[in-house]
Amino acid sequence: MLAWFALQYSLPPGAFPGAKGEGIPVHTYGLLLALGFITAVTVAGRLAQDEWRTLELKDGAWVDVEGPKKREQIMDMTVWILLGGIGGSRLLFVLVNWQDYARDWTQVFSLGGGLVFYGGLIGASVAAFVFARMHGLDFWRLADVCIPTVSLGQCLGRLGCFSAGCCWGDVAPAHAATAVHFPGSGVAQDLLGGVGNTSSLAYSSQLQDTRYVVEATGEIFHHAAPGAVRISDWVAQQGYTLGVYPTQLFESVGQLVLFVGLLYARRYRRFHGHVLAFWLMAYAVLRSTVELFRGDVERGTLHGLLQSLGAGELAAAVPLEAWYNVSTSQFISLCMFTFGAVLLAQKGRRRESEAESLGPTPSAA
């Protein structure tokens, strides 16, 4: 099943032309997405085995009787996570872009449509919670084991985003050392020897962008301004995008740092759910920071989300140009940070109360 979904998102329509010598083009987006998922699941299984390791002496040898069982349960949970993640990520993308799908609702089920990480995270979390309840697992303990691997999977997944030219950054000043240009179809086709003929998503978007930009500073205007050129005209002439911030790489590096940090933090957790709470807060900060450099308006804003949900009056209170009209991901990050802080405070307070109720230990008496 995983391989099938990976192929659907990595291969373009007509990927099997049947002509001799053409081969099968495998796009790096789907490949890295699948690689990230498989790597995350594999590491999660190993962490689960270590977490629930229970040694018993059998036939003169110490045998782990519980760890391998929990590892197998993680493997079983993979299907739940996959379905919940894909369903949730697709659902949130449709909600954010509901006006586009309202004209043709059948496109909701298109396998070539977009995905949103936060939607996948929510969907996968619900699936994991249901699985844990069905199998008598402590959800908070399970979350502490699995959540670091989410960052590991995202580290690889964002490399796929960079390869596809999606989730790109805002226009950077011409002198910015980190600026990157995403190619159009002609450039990609020449480099790959005719294997692919698909433009990067960033290029396709800027090719239709009617706003104006001052190339030297990266400043964008919604109307003509001195020294500014129309973005679509510039891109059509050059054959590649304006220099943009590589936000995919920013997040990929941040996720790798977060993964390593969480593995280290697991040694010092004070209660089940401690690592999860830390991740919720840390990733919310990371994602909100990266969002400041994002340039793909398709990801939606709070104003657009409220409109999509039919809350017109609330949307009117959040004007498009208002500073508090944050992106959809920034809004979810704020909610996620709050939940992580509440979880940390509540479970930490409960642990202290339980410790006080037990009284002093014999060694301290």
Nearest to 206 by CA among 235, 167, 239, 179: 235
CB 247 within 8 A of CB 168: yes
Q: Classify residue 11 by burial, with Cβ atoms within 10 Å: 0-12, 13-18, 19+.
A: middle
Nearest-10 Cα torsion for 211, 215, 219, 220: 0
Q: Classify residue 185 by burial, with Cβ atoms within 10 Å: 0-12, 13-18, 19+.
A: middle
C-alpha span between 363 and 338 (Å, rounded): 39
**Amino acid at the residue 185:** S
Nearest to 154 by CA among 283, 275, 276: 283
Residue 299 annotated as part of some ligand binding site: no
CB 320 within 8 A of CB 327: no
Q: Which two tokens stand for residue 177?
A: 């050392």
- The 8-class DSSP code of residue 105 comes to G
* Four-residue CA torsion sign, 203, 207, 213, 215: positive
* Alpha helices (H) along 58-116: 67-96, 98-102
C-alpha span between 236 and 203 (Å, rounded): 9
Per DSSP, the three-state class of 102 is helix
Angle at 39 (CA atoms; ends 337, 87), nearest 5 degrees: 60
Q: Which two tokens stand for residue 31?
A: 């490949």
Give the annotated binding-site residues. 158
